[in-house]
Amino acid sequence: MALTACFAGPLFNLLVGCGLGFARWLSANGKSAVPARLDSSVVVGCVFIVLNCGSIVLKGVLNRGVIPRSFGYFMIAVYALYVATSLALLFLL
């Protein structure tokens, strides 16, 4: 249940907050769509989120719903790789 709350709470806030904000802005300006451009940091973040969620689901399925404590080290390594990639994009490109 705690694992679900870690993902569902922030995701709900993001989707509802952005959805309502954009809906209000679009209705106030009389527009039906706004062109959007994805920055490279957003793409990297999305890739690492998919990697994170996919690895948790895969590990849970392969271990019949049990995620071992040692899997946390892998998750920390994924996060460190994400931070290194984001910093490289920020300062090197």
Tens-level pLDDT at each residue, the chain (93 residues): 777 788 788 888 989 998 899 899 999 998 888 888 888 999 999 999 999 999 999 999 999 989 999 999 999 999 999 999 999 999 987
Distance, CA of 55 to CA of 35 (rounded, Å): 32
Distance, CA of 93 to CA of 68 (rounded, Å): 38
**Cα–Cα separations (whole angstroms), residue 33 to 28, 43, 54, 83:** 12, 21, 31, 33
The pLDDT value recorded for residue 88 is: 94
The pLDDT value recorded for residue 89 is: 93
**CA neighbor of 58 nearest in space, from 44, 78, 42, 39:** 78
Q: Answer yes or no: pTM beyond 0.75.
A: no
The pLDDT value recorded for residue 34 is: 83
The pLDDT value recorded for residue 38 is: 87
56, 67 Cβ separation under 8 angstroms: yes
